[in-house]
């Protein structure tokens, strides 16, 4: 029942069916897609429920020999820990809604779109579920391709520029990571670690000499930083988000960016704790800077999708900041914030997508007074905005709060800088909301807008409910990840103990030792 | 015959160079194909020279001649296919000049 | 004496090879090449490879060159228009390319020669001359045995290749004959 | 023993809010486009019932505490398991402080709900309004009743949200200015909230807990031991920053006058009686923290006095009836902080309570006037209304009298207690006392100017189009109740010279004991104290100033606009500064808002688009240009490809031949 391979490859199977089905009726194809993604969602949730959060070890593991690279054997190995279980569940839950939203904005080449969508899900689930480095890299690349097509075929007017930019950026990151992967595997093999199993490599890498750790960490970290994206690698995101169709934006914000933060956590910090401790100040500064920088960018935007994209930069700054605070609270908040950002930004994109389908304009000043004609839309929009700005009681708050308090424990200065993000977040999102929803109706086209229909409500209402539930009961999620994160913190602390206090250690680490 | 091996090799090198020159300077596809044959023969000659050197101590080794035979077979194949293509191209463009086939997609 | 014969054959081979490349008329090229192959066959024979010499004459001279000649004839004596023939002067038309080609050829040739001459001292030539078995270096029994044992796989591959070529060439020719007019009309 | 029914206090209004929201959804579904909607009283009744039930529960809880049990506590809600010793569990705690506050919130809130049921009748968003209003009360109760700071923060931001929603309730009116006002309120509140967050983090890293009970233990130990004094002062100031945002203190008060764009009951409930007092609540709750630092205390008092003066003077020249009340509210909140900064915790809460009565009354009365005048807010276009709306007139005047501190009314006692305390602290506080007294004079003046302009003099409105009328009983009855409370509310805190017990002081004693002990400890064993004679003198002075200035304010304005116009032409600059609240709002725009916008544009256009993205595009362009150059080599000539290949081979061959052996 709890079979990772089944969950991962079910969408691919669905893609095959959709691709080969002779039936040309789009509704049937969409129905199949929705069904497959829903089944995956159910499986994902049941996996989530069955997961034991108090354990740090991988669960639901599966392993089959795959091939050998020289003396090193590569396995097809799947398994989830407390971090990936959340992201798998998020992916599985988000996809049916994306599939359900697609009739609104995908009107041509539907079959192809659905095939890419399903393949994408397999890629993303695979990234989170793989327990072998080579397999991870394989899925990482697999997940890249479908978005390339979704962006390039169904995107906006400047889609080619955005697509090429997205592809080049992520490819550059991937190649860097490939280098690091190869270096890691060969160096580990030289030490007699003859398997690409992530757990085994982690054991080797975390005990490796600092210099080796440093270079490998740099390779992985830059690759993931591009994906996250951290300043200064963030510019692809705004273009990609702006040009992508709604479903593309949702997947991008909801899951794909999380691959970067997930990687940073699992491979950056998990594998190379010593290097991570040394690099932590840099990443914390980048994260805190990203929060403010993204917020300032968002304030200056007149294009709603671009604004949401810039807010993603800001939100992911929180994730990175909390992660590299390397405290219990910071890490928990960081993981939770990944989920939260996926939900609330996904919601914003879905909602604005619904509006875009009606008016075909992304410019905020083309709207105004929408609340009067679309009260339901206004309700859900404000809800999503509040979730995004971190209102207590909704999901965003818990993550942000934990990140901030975790950061405060290591660096009060950066926490103070990050707290300004709380203010700026309110400024740009509420200002956009005001210009979108409030005031008098300024465009006649707005007057005839229809409120959300049943399908659209069916997309956003459950996600809003989820936001509320996480805000009220975040413990359910946090408990699942606590085992893994505690082990991670333990590893970091152990590393601090053993690290020579001196040349390469920053003062903070010395404090930790003390 | 007591010609030193390097003289055979030198001859092969000269023939090969002449083949290369023809290959690069001529436009007529048929002549180009012939230049290729010339180069292949130069290669054959080096094999023969080497084989003679190795077998000269008494223990005959036939690897060289066998390779030559294979090369001749492949050369025949190449000539056949090449010439068939030449004919096909000629039918399309009424010429066998390389200049006419500059663009790969044509 | 035998050596002298070799040098004579070598000279003929070089000259005819040059003729292949320099002749404007393809028919002349074909005939030159034929003579070149003939002199190479002589050299093989002199070097003690009777069977190869025979093959050289039979396959190259008998089959391949006839094929070339056939095509040249079929394509109306070379198939080049007079202007194209003018342009096909290997030395004086399009000097840039000619110069490039010649430079490459000279460079390759001289590199090979230099390499050969510099490497010659490492060759361990038999001190008391070449021992030539009566049946030559490519005695048929040995050749056949190797061909059907150690080299059976390449041998079979070669036969498959030949078969495929036969079929392929026929298809190429056939397709051209029954090709739709659209293909013919293309500029 | 746990009292889980405490959860019901916030839960009931929440339930009411949900029911109202459902009704609103029904309205939308049924007749979403009909503007002449009359949804009846269903939603209002639901909301009022929820409020009444909550009030009842608060009363019950209030009755339970005071005897042997000083506080009731519910079982906790396991909220955020943060790991590493951070485990947030929120429980509802009803102690003497939260009990008193909850009683005011639900009691005054109940009256305002009743009033609103009449005021909002006929509005298309009737049910929605009550959904928001009930949600607000929920959040306010969460703020008050939470047993730890995180729970308080939930309510803290929650009331901010409801304030946002209610200010922007009529988002499509007045050219969208309510939307702007709502946004401003939320953002300015968020600035305070950010400060609150930092203060909370600092307390957590210092004491390892966020539960009030254990925090106060920790602070007490630290303050008595003289440890961490810098940290304590910093935490106090950060939390005070949060309080400044929520309670509209200088320099963060500018949102409150704008917030009057919301419906009037909202102004009464949120921006006068309850939400804006949460900053005072927080300081009283953490009184040991503030008591531990002289700097923090003085800053609180100084900011309070400055705010009182700035806003009190601004109220003098407002023409918008609600604007006068808004600035008055800011000014009175300043008084409360002045009290807190003088260590007069009880006096602050006393003023919170009396202010809730008379300011709610004044706002509701103003609403009644505006309602009767067909949404006219300019006091210059009113006048002589006492004949048209007698009940509103009488009650409103009661409120104004209490506000201006006429002797023996509620405002008199609470304000006097504050000033007496400030005076008693001495030192630099004497200056603040002077400011307080001056502001008291201003208060009396503008209160009676307002009464005179609205209800006396000739009728300055166009009688042909405007027909002033008295409001229905559903609106006037709450006014009467509040008027009674405003007049008599002072009895809970009579001064010591009257030789009767200070009821509120005795009641709150357990809450403020620790703070007072720390104050005593710091000042070497004696709390500031006034002799009875001095207290009599201060009382007399207060009465004289109030009466005199009230007289001045009333008589100068009761006969029309002559005084107003004369002042405006005589002192145009002063008039401009006052009606503009000393230009602080504009200074904000010039000093903060515009620079941030410019910075954002600079970052977006120059740094991001030009520098960062430009670098990347330039890299791409370079690659492209190089490609264009290299394209020349790929001319499609097989021969030239071959030539290149051959050339390469030749070079390699030459290298091989010439190099090595």
Q: What is the pLDDT of residues C51-77, one digit of tens each?
A: 999 999 998 888 888 888 888 888 765
| Residue of chain D with shortest Cα separation from A490 | D84
**Residues of chain D contacting A430 with CB distance shorter than 8 Å:** 164, 183, 186-187
pLDDT at D106: 92
Average pLDDT over residues D104-116: 91
DSSP string, A213-236: HHHHHHHHHHHHHHHTTPTTSTHH
pLDDT at D605: 84
- Residue owning tokens 């929201």: D21
Residues 63 through 92 of chain B touching chain C, CB cutoff 8 Å: 63-66, 68-70, 72-77, 79-81, 83-88, 90-92
**Residues of chain B contacting C13 with CB distance shorter than 8 Å:** 11, 15
Q: Which residues pair with D93 in a beta bridge?
A: D73
Q: Per-residue b/e over D388-417, b at no fewer than 16 CB within 10 Å?
A: bbebbbbbbbbbbbbbbbbbebbbbbbbbb
pLDDT at B95: 74
Domain that holds residue A152: 4-511
Helix (H, G, I), strand (E, B) or coil at A303: strand
- Residue owning tokens 């060969």: A186
Selection from A399, A402, A404, A398 nearest residue A421 by Cα: A404
- Residue owning tokens 């900011």: D303
Radius of gyration of the CA atoms of chain A, in A: 22
Which of A312-316, A463-467, D525-529 has the least mean pLDDT? Answer: D525-529
- Residue owning tokens 């230009």: D583
What percentage of chain A exceeds 90 in pLDDT? 54
Please judge whether D639 and B98 are an interchain contact, meaning their C-beta atoms are less than 8 angstroms apart: yes
* H or E element at residue A76: strand A72-80
pLDDT at D23: 84
Helix (H, G, I), strand (E, B) or coil at D251: coil
Please judge whether C115 and D639 are an interchain contact, meaning their C-beta atoms are less than 8 angstroms apart: no
pLDDT at A209 over 80: yes
Question: With an 8 Å Cβ cutoff, is D295 touching chain A?
Answer: no
Mention every residue, 6+ apart, whose C-beta is less than 8 A from residue D225.
none
**Residues of chain A contacting D182 with CB distance shorter than 8 Å:** 434, 438
Residue D356 CB-half CA count within 13 A? 28
Average pLDDT over residues D202-219: 90
Mention every residue, 6+ apart, whose C-beta is less than 8 A from residue A261.
A224, A228, A316, A319, A320, A323, A334, A338
CB D386 within 8 A of CB D456: yes
Average pLDDT over residues C86-103: 66
**Shortest CB distance from A232 goes to which of D86, D191, D612?**
D612
Calculate the average pLDDT of chain A: 89
Please judge whether C97 and D640 are an interchain contact, meaning their C-beta atoms are less than 8 angstroms apart: yes
Average pLDDT over residues C133-142: 80
Residue D647: count of CB within 10 angstroms of its CB: 17
Confidence of residue D37 (pLDDT cuts 50, 70, 90): very low
pLDDT at D31: 53
**Residues of chain A contacting D612 with CB distance shorter than 8 Å:** 231-232, 234-235
Helix axes D473-488, D390-404, angle to 10 degrees: 30
Mention every residue, 6+ apart, whose C-beta is less than 8 A from residue A288.
A317, A321, A407, A414, A417, A418
The model's pLDDT over D265-290, given as tens digits with 9 standing for 90+, comes to 888 888 888 889 999 999 999 999 99
Average pLDDT over residues D482-507: 85
pLDDT at D485 over 60: yes
| Residue of chain B with shortest Cα separation from D639 | B24
Dist CA D85 CA D91 (whole Å) = 18
Confidence of residue D637 (pLDDT cuts 50, 70, 90): low
Q: Give the helix ranges, DSSP H, for D269-344.
A: 278-285, 287-291, 294-316, 321-341
pLDDT at D36: 41
**Shortest CB distance from B104 goes to which of D636, D639, D646?**
D636
Dist CA C53 CA D167 (whole Å) = 105
Please judge whether D642 and B102 are an interchain contact, meaning their C-beta atoms are less than 8 angstroms apart: no
Please judge whether C97 and D649 are an interchain contact, meaning their C-beta atoms are less than 8 angstroms apart: no
Radius of gyration of the CA atoms of chain C, in A: 22
The more confident residue out of D581 and A220 is A220
Q: How many CB pairs under 8 A join B and C?
A: 274
The model's pLDDT over A111-122, given as tens digits with 9 standing for 90+, comes to 999 999 999 999
pLDDT at D83 over 50: yes
Which of D15-19, D108-112, D173-177, D538-542 has the least mean pLDDT? Answer: D173-177
Q: Per-residue b/e over D559-593, b at no fewer than 16 CB within 10 Å?
A: ebbebbeebeeeeeeebeebbebbebbeebeeeee
C-alpha distances in Å from residue D40, one per residue of A8, B84, D111, D266:
55, 94, 19, 20
C partners (3+ CB pairs within 8 A) are B, D
The alpha carbon torsion through C148, C149, C154, C156 (nearest 10 deg) reads: 50
Please judge whether D636 and B20 are an interchain contact, meaning their C-beta atoms are less than 8 angstroms apart: no
Domains in chain A, number: 1
The more confident residue out of A355 and C175 is A355
CB D2 within 8 A of CB D103: no
pLDDT at D555: 87
Average pLDDT over residues A206-231: 89
Residue B14: count of CB within 10 angstroms of its CB: 19
pLDDT at A509: 45
Confidence of residue C91 (pLDDT cuts 50, 70, 90): low
Average pLDDT over residues C3-8: 90
Identify the structural domains of chain B with CATH numbers, from first to last: 5-97 (1.10.287.3510)
Dist CA D347 CA D422 (whole Å) = 10
D partners (3+ CB pairs within 8 A) are A, B, C
| Residue of chain D with shortest Cα separation from A164 | D620
Dist CA D145 CA D5 (whole Å) = 12
Please judge whether D642 and B23 are an interchain contact, meaning their C-beta atoms are less than 8 angstroms apart: yes
The model's pLDDT over B35-80, given as tens digits with 9 standing for 90+, comes to 999 999 999 999 998 888 888 766 778 888 999 999 999 999 999 9
* H or E element at residue D399: helix D390-404
- Residue owning tokens 């004289």: D544
Helix (H, G, I), strand (E, B) or coil at D317: coil
Q: Length of chain C, please?
A: 187
pLDDT at A24 over 80: no
Calculate the average pLDDT of chain D: 86
Positive or negative, the CA dihedral A382, A386, A392, A394 is positive
Question: With an 8 Å Cβ cutoff, is D645 touching chain C?
Answer: no
Residue D635 CB-half CA count within 13 A? 10
CB D130 within 8 A of CB D70: no
Please judge whether A404 and D197 are an interchain contact, meaning their C-beta atoms are less than 8 angstroms apart: yes
**Residues of chain B contacting D646 with CB distance shorter than 8 Å:** 20, 23-24
pLDDT at A56: 85
Please judge whether C114 and D646 are an interchain contact, meaning their C-beta atoms are less than 8 angstroms apart: no
Q: Which residues pair with A132 in a beta bridge?
A: A197
Chains A and B touch (3+ CB pairs under 8 A): no
Question: Which of A348-352, C181-185, D73-77, D596-600 reaches the highest mean pLDDT?
Answer: A348-352
pLDDT at A497: 84
Confidence of residue B87 (pLDDT cuts 50, 70, 90): confident
pLDDT at D80: 86
- Rounded to a whole number, what is the distance in Å from the CA of D70 to chain A's nearest CA? 29
Average pLDDT over residues A394-407: 92
| Residue of chain D with shortest Cα separation from A296 | D600
pLDDT at C179 over 50: no
Dist CA D270 CA A391 (whole Å) = 19
Selection from A92, C87, A437, C172 nearest residue B89 by Cα: C172
CB D122 within 8 A of CB D472: no
**Residues of chain A contacting D618 with CB distance shorter than 8 Å:** none
CB D210 within 8 A of CB D150: yes
Question: With an 8 Å Cβ cutoff, is D591 touching chain B?
Answer: no
Average pLDDT over residues A61-81: 87
**Residues of chain D contacting A409 with CB distance shorter than 8 Å:** 205
Positive or negative, the CA dihedral D198, D204, D210, D213 is negative
- Rounded to a whole number, what is the distance in Å from the CA of D622 to chain C's nearest CA? 30
pLDDT at D32: 45
Helix axes A159-190, A198-206, angle to 10 degrees: 70
pLDDT at D542 over 50: yes
* DSSP 8-state class, residue D589: I
Question: With an 8 Å Cβ cutoff, is D657 touching chain B?
Answer: no
Question: Which of C82-91, C97-106, D593-602 reaches the highest mean pLDDT?
Answer: D593-602
Its ipTM equals 0.74
Dist CA D596 CA A296 (whole Å) = 8
Average pLDDT over residues D582-594: 85
Residue D365 CB-half CA count within 13 A? 31
**Shortest CB distance from D86 goes to which of A329, A419, A438?**
A329
Average pLDDT over residues C105-119: 85
Dist CA A118 CA A121 (whole Å) = 5
**Residues of chain B contacting C143 with CB distance shorter than 8 Å:** 62, 65-66, 69
Helix (H, G, I), strand (E, B) or coil at B27: coil
C-alpha distances in Å from residue A357, one per residue of A52, D245, D336:
42, 40, 53
Residues 201 through 240 of chain D touching chain A, CB cutoff 8 Å: 201-202, 204-205
């Amino acid at each position: 029942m709890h079979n990772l391979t089944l969950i991962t490859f079910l969408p691919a199977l669905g893609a095959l069916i959709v691709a080969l089905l002779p039936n040309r009726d789009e509704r049937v194809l969409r129905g199949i897609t929705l069904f497959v993604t829903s089944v995956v969602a159910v499986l994902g949730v049941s996996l989530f429920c069955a997961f034991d959060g108090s354990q740090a070890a991988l669960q639901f593991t599966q392993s089959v020999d795959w091939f050998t690279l020289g003396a090193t054997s590569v396995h097809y190995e799947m398994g989830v820990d407390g971090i990936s279980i959340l992201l798998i569940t998020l992916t599985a839950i988000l996809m049916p809604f994306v599939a359900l939203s697609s009739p609104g904005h995908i009107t041509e080449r539907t079959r192809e779109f659905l095939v890419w969508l399903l393949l994408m899900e397999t890629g993303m689930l695979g990234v989170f579920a793989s327990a072998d480095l080579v397999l991870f890299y394989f899925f990482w690349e697999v997940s890249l391709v479908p978005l390339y097509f979704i962006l390039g075929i169904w995107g906006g007017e400047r889609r080619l520029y955005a697509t090429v930019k997205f592809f080049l950026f992520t490819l550059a990151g991937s190649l860097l990571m490939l280098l690091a992967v190869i270096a890691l595997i060969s160096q580990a093999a030289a030490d007699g670690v003859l398997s690409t199993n992530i757990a085994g490599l982690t054991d080797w890498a975390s005990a490796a000499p600092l210099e080796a750790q440093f270079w490998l960490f740099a390779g992985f970290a830059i690759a993931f930083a591009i994906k996250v994206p951290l300043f200064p690698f963030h510019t692809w995101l705004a273009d990609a988000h702006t040009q992508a169709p709604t479903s593309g934006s949702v997947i991008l914000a909801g899951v794909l960016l999380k691959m970067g933060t997930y990687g940073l956590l699992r491979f950056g910090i998990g594998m190379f704790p010593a290097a991570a401790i040394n690099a932590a100040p840099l990443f914390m500064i980048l994260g805190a800077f990203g929060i403010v920088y993204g917020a300032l960018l968002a304030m200056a935007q007149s294009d709603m999708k671009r604004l949401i994209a810039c807010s993603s930069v800001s939100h992911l700054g929180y994730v990175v900041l909390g992660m590299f605070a390397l405290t219990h609270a910071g890490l928990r908040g960081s993981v939770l914030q990944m989920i939260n950002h996926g939900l609330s930004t996904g919601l914003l994109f879905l909602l604005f997508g619904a509006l875009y389908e009606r008016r075909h304009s992304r410019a905020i000043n083309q709207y105004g007074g929408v609340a009067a004609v679309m009260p339901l839309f206004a309700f859900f929009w404000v809800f999503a905005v509040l979730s995004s700005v971190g209102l207590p009681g909704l999901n965003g708050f818990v993550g942000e709060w934990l990140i901030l308090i975790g950061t405060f424990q290591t660096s009060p200065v950066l926490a103070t800088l990050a707290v300004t993000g709380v203010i700026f977040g309110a400024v740009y999102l509420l200002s956009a909301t005001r210009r979108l929803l409030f005031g008098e109706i300024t465009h006649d086209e707005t007057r005839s807008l229809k409120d959300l229909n049943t399908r659209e409500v069916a997309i956003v209402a459950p996600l809003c409910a989820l936001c509320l539930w996480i805000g009220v009961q975040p413990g359910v999620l946090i408990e699942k990840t606590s085992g893994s994160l505690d082990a991670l913190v333990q590893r970091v602390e152990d590393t601090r103990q053993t690290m020579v206090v001196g040349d390469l250690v920053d003062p903070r680490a010395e404090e930790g030792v003390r | 015959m007591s010609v030193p091996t390097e003289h055979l090799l030198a001859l092969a090198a000269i023939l090969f160079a002449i083949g290369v020159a023809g290959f690069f300077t001529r436009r007529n596809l048929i002549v180009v194909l012939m230049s290729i044959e010339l180069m292949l023969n130069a290669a054959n000659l080096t094999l023969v020279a080497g084989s003679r050197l190795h077998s000269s101590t008494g223990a005959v080794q036939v690897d060289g001649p066998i390779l030559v035979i294979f090369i001749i077979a492949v050369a025949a194949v190449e000539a056949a296919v090449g010439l068939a293509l030449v004919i096909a191209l000629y039918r399309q463009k009424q010429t066998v000049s390389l200049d006419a086939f500059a663009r790969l997609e044509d | 004496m035998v050596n002298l014969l070799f040098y004579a054959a070598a000279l003929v081979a070089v000259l005819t090879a040059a003729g292949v490349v320099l002749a404007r008329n393809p028919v002349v090229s074909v005939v030159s090449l034929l003579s070149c192959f003939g002199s190479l066959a002589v050299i093989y024979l002199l070097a003690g490879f009777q069977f190869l010499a025979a093959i050289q004459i039979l396959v190259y001279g008998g089959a391949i060159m006839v094929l070339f000649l056939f095509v040249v004839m079929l394509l109306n004596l070379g198939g080049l228009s007079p202007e194209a023939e003018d342009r096909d002067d290997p030395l004086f038309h399009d000097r840039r390319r000619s110069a490039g080609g010649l430079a490459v050829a000279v460079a390759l040739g001289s590199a090979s020669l230099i390499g050969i001459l510099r490497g010659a001292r490492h060759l361990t030539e038999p001190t008391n001359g070449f021992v030539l078995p009566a049946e030559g270096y490519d005695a048929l029994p040995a050749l056949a045995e190797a061909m059907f044992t150690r080299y059976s796989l390449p041998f079979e591959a070669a036969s498959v290749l030949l078969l495929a070529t036969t079929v392929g060439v026929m298809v190429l020719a056939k397709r051209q004959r029954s090709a739709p007019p659209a293909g013919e009309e293309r500029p | 023993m746990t009292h889980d029914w405490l959860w019901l206090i916030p839960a009931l209004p929440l339930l009411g809010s949900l029911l109202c929201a459902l009704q609103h959804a029904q309205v939308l579904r049924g007749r979403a486009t009909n503007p002449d909607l009359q949804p009846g009283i269903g939603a209002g009744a639901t909301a009022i019932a929820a409020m009444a039930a909550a009030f009842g529960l608060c009363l019950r809880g209030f009755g339970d505490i005071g005897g042997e049990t000083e506080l009731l506590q519910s079982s906790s809600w396991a909220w955020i398991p943060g790991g590493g010793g951070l485990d947030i569990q929120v429980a509802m705690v009803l102690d003497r402080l939260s009990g008193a506050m909850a009683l005011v919130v639900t009691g005054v809130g109940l009256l305002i709900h009743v009033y609103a049921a009449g005021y909002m009748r006929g509005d298309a968003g009737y049910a929605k309004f009550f959904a928001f209003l009930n949600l607000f009360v929920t959040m306010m109760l969460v703020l008050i009743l939470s047993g730890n700071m995180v729970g308080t923060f939930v309510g803290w931001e929650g009331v901010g949200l409801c304030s946002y929603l209610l200010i922007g309730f009529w988002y499509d009116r007045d050219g969208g200015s309510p939307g702007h006002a709502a946004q401003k309120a939320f953002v300015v509140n968020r600035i305070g909230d950010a400060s609150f967050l930092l203060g909370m983090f600092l307390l957590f890293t210092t004491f390892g807990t966020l539960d009030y009970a254990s925090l106060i233990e920790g602070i007490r130990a630290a303050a008595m031991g003289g440890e961490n004094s810098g940290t304590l002062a910093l935490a106090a100031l950060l939390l005070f920053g949060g309080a400044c945002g929520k309670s509209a203190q200088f320099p963060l008060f500018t949102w409150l006058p704008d917030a009057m764009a919301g419906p009037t009951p909202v102004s009464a409930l949120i921006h006068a009686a309850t939400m804006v007092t949460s900053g005072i609540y927080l300081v009283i709750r953490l009184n040991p923290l503030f008591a531990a630092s002289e700097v923090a205390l003085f800053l609180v008092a100084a900011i309070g006095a400055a705010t009182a003066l700035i806003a009190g003077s601004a109220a003098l020249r407002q023409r918008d009836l609600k604007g006068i009340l808004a600035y008055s509210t800011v000014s009175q909140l300043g008084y409360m902080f002045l009290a807190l900064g003088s260590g007069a915790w009880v006096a602050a809460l006393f003023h919170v309570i009396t202010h809730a009565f008379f300011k709610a009354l004044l706002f509701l009365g103003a609403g009644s006037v505006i309602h009767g005048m067909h949404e006219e807010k300019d006091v210059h276009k009113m006048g002589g209304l006492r004949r048209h709306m007698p009940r509103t007139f009488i009650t409103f005047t009661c409120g104004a009298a209490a506000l201006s501190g006429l002797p023996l009314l509620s405002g008199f006692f609470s304000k006097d207690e504050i000033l007496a305390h400030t005076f008693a602290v001495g030192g630099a506080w004497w200056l603040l006392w002077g400011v307080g007294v001056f502001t008291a004079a201003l208060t009396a003046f503008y209160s009676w100017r307002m009464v005179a302009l609205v209800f006396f003099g000739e009728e300055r409105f166009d009688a042909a189009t405007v027909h002033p009328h008295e409001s229905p009983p559903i609106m006037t009855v709450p006014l009467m109740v509040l008027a009674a409370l405003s007049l008599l509310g002072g009895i809970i805190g009579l001064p010591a010279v009257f030789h009767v017990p200070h009821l509120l002081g005795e009641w709150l004693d357990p809450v403020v004991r620790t703070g007072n002990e720390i104050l005593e400890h710091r000042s070497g064993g004696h709390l500031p104290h006034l002799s009875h004679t001095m207290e009599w003198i201060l009382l007399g002075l207060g009465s004289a100033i109030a009466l005199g200035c009230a007289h001045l304010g009333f008589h100068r304005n009761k006969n029309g606009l002559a005084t107003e116009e004369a002042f405006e032409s005589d002192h145009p600059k002063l008039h401009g500064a006052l009606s503009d609240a000393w230009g602080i709002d504009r200074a904000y725009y010039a000093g903060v808002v515009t620079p941030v916008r410019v910075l954002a544009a600079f970052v977006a256009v120059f740094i991001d688009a030009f520098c960062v993205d430009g670098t990347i595009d330039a890299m791409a362009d370079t690659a492209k240009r190089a490609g264009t150059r290299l394209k020349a080599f790929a001319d499609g000539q097989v021969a030239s490809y071959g030539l290149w290949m051959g050339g390469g081979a030749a070079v390699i061959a030459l290298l091989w031949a010439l190099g090595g052996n």
